[in-house]
Amino acid sequence: MPLSSEEIERYARHIVLHGIGGPGQQKLKAARVLVIGAGGLGSPLIQYLAAAGIGEIGVVDDDAVSLSNLQRQVLHGTPDIGRPKVDSAADAIARLNPHVKVSAFPLRLAPDNARALVRGWHVVADGSDNFATRYAVSDACFHERVALVTGALGQFDASLTTLRPFGEAPSGEPNPTYRCLFPEPPPEGAVPTCAEAGVLGALTGIVGSMMALEVIREIVPFGRGLVGRLLLIDANDMRFETLAYRWDPDNPLSGRAAAEAVAG
């Protein structure tokens, strides 16, 4: 997919960058990325994906912009209050980069529609704010064999990982699933919501930008990504820690019991 002269100038700093270059920029242009949530994490994530020249960005969100969003959801502005977030996101993407196609999905992702939504995308990036959506997205991406970048926020802390469970680790065992890392969601009400506990606005920018970095890495491989590694961020002490995790043979998606059920 050739780049126009305008695109060559727009992406010049990528094109001269060792590890991306012209071929890598063409891969970005051909890529289709689905973003779950146009909120705190989705805002910087969507902006950096659009600026990077992702060919098509899908945005899934059933919410409207409210005044309390604007402390962290920098994709939207005061004039957008009351508008569907997918519409505000589409306008923001068009302002940033008219070469990017936008597909808006003004709905809530749930177990009954998740597989259809993620099917056919090259990468899914989940910036949702609840465990039910995270498990629905991760299960769907496993079944549809789509790479998933998923981030989560606390008040002053955050986590980030990349999932490619249809591939193999260097050891030869399967890559881990989300359920290898978190087998079960916490009891309902055990973790306070953002509205209840609050969240540091600038932290969403850090994590959303890092999610964009991981998405780009999935499309144009460079360096070492976060497959099989969980990045933990503590904004109180400005501390970053990376923990390794592995495939769990007892996980319900790709564990031994699931493999035996398929074989039998």
- The span from the CA of 212 to the CA of 174, in Å, is 25
Pairing label, strands 56-60, 32-36: parallel
The residue behind tokens 């399967």 is: 174
Give SS3 for 234: strand
Total residue count of the chain as it appears in this document: 264
**Of 81, 191, 194, 258, which is the active-site residue?**
194
Sequence letter at residue 261? A
Pairing label, strands 56-60, 101-105: parallel
Q: 180 catalytic, yes or no? A: no
Residues 6 or more apart from 20 whose CB is under 8 A from it?
Answer: 14, 220, 222
Active-site residue list: 194
